[in-house]
């Protein structure tokens, strides 16, 4: 397990000091966790393979394993709290969990309400899933072909304008999957991490995610605002994961092709 | 023209009123395409729903029991189910039962796309109402007029086409106007099966630009004008068809 404290950048130190000075003195969350003997982590329970339930109902996946690493580091038991996208930040803000690792995209407005830890531990981007028989290899192959999407997704415009695809957008993923199966469109443009999960299923065995991922957006794990010591510790944990290739190892274990982001970060920190 | 469109970019910078469908050429083309798609869908549905109405009202008075029963079954089915459900039903259920054809690059696609299903579904939906509307007109034609025509040796079809229908249309027009106005508004539902009409395009534009308010105002005004034009045309037609002494 990674233990040494790596050099923090002057920026992070300055930010940390500022956050510390801004908050009133209070019991540190790390002390609380150790006293309680359990680390409470918010994870997804419906986002295979990043966080989902096995047949016995236990939450497993890449993010729960990362959380387990943190609990091991602290020498405490772990407790998973299943969250969804719309309530995950509130769980952290209200102190119902100590740590949030739940496929959350790192955005500036989110950084205002919770303390997202640098560096980012993961990322997802835009890709398509299409029948293997079409043999798409590049985004330009989609020109003038009907491509399904979700109404309102920001990459519909890019796929339509830059790559010339005719976007056929529906309200939800269920309609898209029906339309894709029926042949109303030749591909489905969406989050690559969602495709990874869908393609795991038997019914989509003849489909693939063939293109290079674009529009990569990083995911952030977070602690509550003001928890400087825990924040710094998590920063070191993430650097350690990247350095040791832990993320790559977990991707392989859970059947995800190594993502460019994880590979790049591993190169950067090793 | 470019200067005119650029003015709206300045408007956005200065006031925050964001109308990307004017200054962004990609969004502009989308919105124009959406506008014409709405018009095309409306015209096709108006035409076929009226045809369905006229033929249906004639079949409703058929001497054959089963023709009448099938006609009434059709009316009940389409009048008593929501148009959105019908669209989904046609697009996802019926479409998957039909044979497929090659899409030109090694795959199969359904014979009919979103537009065709929207046109079929909405025509049948509005057609069901039109049948009843025309029936109300037909029943307003006095029996004695029909009997007089029969006495003169007209067949059932020629009585319907030359005597009953011209009189019936005049009685039915106000109710027909109502239904056709509703039909034009109902075309917005086609966005659920990804027909790129105005609401669909506006939805995508406001998602990309987070300018929901502006797009909503624009949509409302556009439909107001569009339906206004239809109402004006129908009123003109109503006036031209007016026979002094007939009706009220």
- Residue-range definition of the domain harbouring residue A251: 29-121+220-269
Q: What is the mean pLDDT of residues B134-158?
A: 92
Domain count of the fold of chain B: 1
- Residue-range definition of the domain harbouring residue B94: 1-99+108-240
Same domain, A134 and A199: yes
Per-residue pLDDT tens over the stretch A222-256: 999 989 999 999 999 999 999 999 999 998 898 87
Same domain, A75 and A152: no
Same domain, A132 and A191: yes
Residue A225 resides in a domain: yes
Residue A22 resides in a domain: no
Residue B247 resides in a domain: no
Residue B248 resides in a domain: no
Tell me whether B200 touches chain A (CB under 8 Å). Answer: yes
What is the distance between the alpha carbons of residues B225 and B229, in angstroms, rounded to a whole number?
6
Pairing of strands A207-208, B100-102: unpaired
- Taken in order B213, B218, B219, B224, the sign of the CA dihedral is positive
Per-residue pLDDT tens over the stretch A178-195: 999 888 899 999 888 788
Same domain, A94 and A228: yes
Per-residue pLDDT tens over the stretch B174-213: 999 999 999 999 999 999 999 999 999 998 888 777 677 8
A146 to chain B: which residues are within 8 Å by CB? 109
Residue A15 resides in a domain: no
Residue B230 resides in a domain: yes
Residue A17 resides in a domain: no
What is the distance between the alpha carbons of residues B219 and A69, in angstroms, rounded to a whole number?
53
Same domain, A109 and A237: yes
Tell me whether A178 touches chain B (CB under 8 Å). Answer: yes
pLDDT of residue A156: 85
Residue A21 resides in a domain: no
Asked whether residue B111 carries a pLDDT value surpassing 90, the answer given is: no
CATH number, residue A43: 3.40.190.10
Same domain, A152 and A40: no
pLDDT of residue A48: 76
CB-closest option in A151, A175, A183 to B100: A183
Same domain, A190 and A72: no
Residues 6+ apart with CB under 8 A from B210: none
Q: Please report the DSSP string for B139-185 in residue order.
A: HTS-HHHHHHHHHTT--HHHHIIIIIHHHHHHHHHHHHHHHHHHHHH
**Closest residue of A to B199, CA-based?**
A151
DSSP A12: H
Domain count of the fold of chain A: 2
Asked whether residue A98 carries a pLDDT value surpassing 90, the answer given is: yes
Q: Which of these, A144, A215, A203, lies nearest to A177 by C-alpha position?
A: A203
Contact B204 A156 (CB under 8 A): yes
Note the ipTM here: 0.77
CATH number, residue B29: 1.10.3720.10
Same domain, A224 and A259: yes
pLDDT of residue B97: 86
Question: How many residues make up chain A in this entry?
Answer: 270
What is the distance between the alpha carbons of residues B48 and B54, in angstroms, rounded to a whole number?
10
Residues 6+ apart with CB under 8 A from B186: B83, B122, B125, B126
Contact B203 A152 (CB under 8 A): yes
Tell me whether B108 touches chain A (CB under 8 Å). Answer: yes
For the beta carbon of residue B215, count every other beta carbon within 10 angstroms: 24
What is the distance between the alpha carbons of residues A167 and A161, in angstroms, rounded to a whole number?
10
Tell me whether A253 touches chain B (CB under 8 Å). Answer: no
pLDDT of residue A13: 52
Residues 6+ apart with CB under 8 A from A178: B92, B96
- Taken in order B23, B28, B29, B30, the sign of the CA dihedral is positive
Same domain, A151 and A111: no
Residue matched to tokens 């009706």: B247
Work out the minimum CA distance from B41 to partner chain A, whole angstroms.
17
Work out the minimum CA distance from B167 to partner chain A, whole angstroms.
45
Q: Answer whether 0.80 is exceeded by the pTM.
A: no
Same domain, A102 and A135: no
Cis preceding-peptide flag for A49 (omega within 30 of 0): yes
Residue to substitute from A179, A186, A189, A210, interface B, most B β-carbons within 10 A: A179
Phi first, then psi, for residue B79 (nearest 5°) are -85, -25
CB-closest option in B108, B114, B204 to A183: B108
Residue B33 resides in a domain: yes
Residue A20 resides in a domain: no
Token representation of residue B28: 């502009």
What is the distance between the alpha carbons of residues A220 and A197, in angstroms, rounded to a whole number?
20
Residue B232's Cβ-side half-sphere holds a number of Cα atoms within 13 Å equal to 6
Residue B94 resides in a domain: yes
Same domain, A129 and A208: yes
Asked whether residue A2 carries a pLDDT value surpassing 50, the answer given is: no
Tell me whether A169 touches chain B (CB under 8 Å). Answer: yes
Q: Which of these, B49, B41, B110, lies nearest to B78 by C-alpha position?
A: B49
Same domain, A60 and A135: no
Within the 132-161 window of chain A, which residues sit less than 8 Å (CB to CB) from chain B? 133-135, 145-146, 148, 151-154, 156-157, 161
Residue A8 resides in a domain: no
**Closest residue of B to A155, CA-based?**
B208
Residue A1 resides in a domain: no
For the beta carbon of residue B6, count every other beta carbon within 10 angstroms: 12
Q: What is the distance of C-alpha A121 from the center of its chain? A: 8
């Amino acid at each position: 397990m990674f233990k040494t404290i790596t050099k923090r950048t002057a920026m992070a130190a300055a930010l940390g000091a500022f956050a510390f000075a801004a908050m009133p003195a209070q019991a540190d969350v790390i002390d609380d966790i150790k006293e309680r003997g359990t680390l409470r982590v918010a994870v997804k329970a419906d986002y295979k393979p990043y966080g989902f339930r096995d047949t016995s109902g236990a939450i497993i996946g890449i993010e729960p394993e990362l959380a387990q690493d943190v609990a091991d580091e602290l020498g405490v038991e772990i407790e998973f709290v299943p969250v969804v996208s719309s309530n995950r930040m509130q769980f952290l803000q209200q102190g119902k969990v100590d740590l949030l690792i739940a496929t959350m995209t790192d955005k500036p407005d989110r950084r205002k309400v919770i303390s997202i830890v640098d560096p980012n531990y993961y990322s997802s981007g835009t890709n398509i899933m299409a029948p293997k028989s079409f043999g798409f290899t590049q985004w330009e192959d989609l020109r003038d072909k009907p491509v399904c999407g979700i109404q309102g997704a920001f990459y519909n415009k890019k796929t339509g304008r830059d790559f010339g695809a005719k976007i056929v957008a529906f309200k939800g993923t269920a309609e898209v999957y029906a339309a894709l199966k029926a042949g109303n469109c030749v591909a489905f443009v969406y989050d690559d991490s969602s495709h990874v999960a869908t393609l795991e299923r038997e019914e989509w065995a003849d489909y693939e995610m063939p293109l290079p991922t674009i529009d990569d957006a990083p995911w952030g794990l977070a602690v509550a605002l003001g928890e400087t010591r825990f924040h710094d510790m998590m920063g070191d944990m993430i650097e350690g994961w990247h350095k040791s290739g832990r993320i790559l190892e977990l991707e392989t274990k859970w059947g995800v092709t190594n993502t460019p982001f994880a590979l790049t970060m591993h190169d950067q920190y090793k | 023209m470019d200067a005119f469109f650029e003015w709206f970019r300045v408007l956005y910078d200065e006031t925050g009123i964001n109308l990307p469908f004017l200054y962004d050429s990609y969004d502009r083309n989308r919105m124009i395409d959406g506008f014409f798609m709405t018009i095309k869908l409306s015209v096709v549905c108006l035409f076929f729903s009226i045809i369905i109405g006229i033929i249906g009202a004639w079949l409703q008075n058929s001497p054959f029991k089963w023709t009448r029963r099938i006609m009434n079954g059709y009316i009940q089915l389409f009048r008593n189910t929501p148009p959105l459900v019908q669209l989904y039903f046609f697009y996802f259920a019926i479409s998957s039962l039909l044979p497929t054809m090659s899409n030109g690059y090694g795959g199969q696609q359904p014979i009919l796309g979103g537009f065709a299903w929207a046109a079929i579904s909405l025509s049948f939906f509005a057609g069901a109402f039109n049948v009843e509307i025309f029936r109300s007109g037909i029943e307003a034609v006095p029996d004695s007029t029909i009997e007089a025509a029969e006495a003169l040796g007209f067949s059932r079809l020629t009585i319907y086409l030359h005597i009953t229908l011209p009189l019936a249309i005049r009685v039915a027009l106000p109710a027909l106007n109502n239904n056709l106005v509703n039909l034009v508004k109902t075309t917005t539902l086609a966005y659920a099966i990804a027909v790129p009409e105005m609401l669909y395009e506006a939805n995508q534009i406001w998602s990309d630009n987070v300018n929901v308010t502006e797009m909503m105002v624009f949509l409302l005004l556009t439909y107001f004008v569009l339906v206004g034009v239809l109402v004006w045309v129908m009123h003109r037609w109503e006036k031209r068809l007016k026979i002094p002494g007939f009706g009220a």
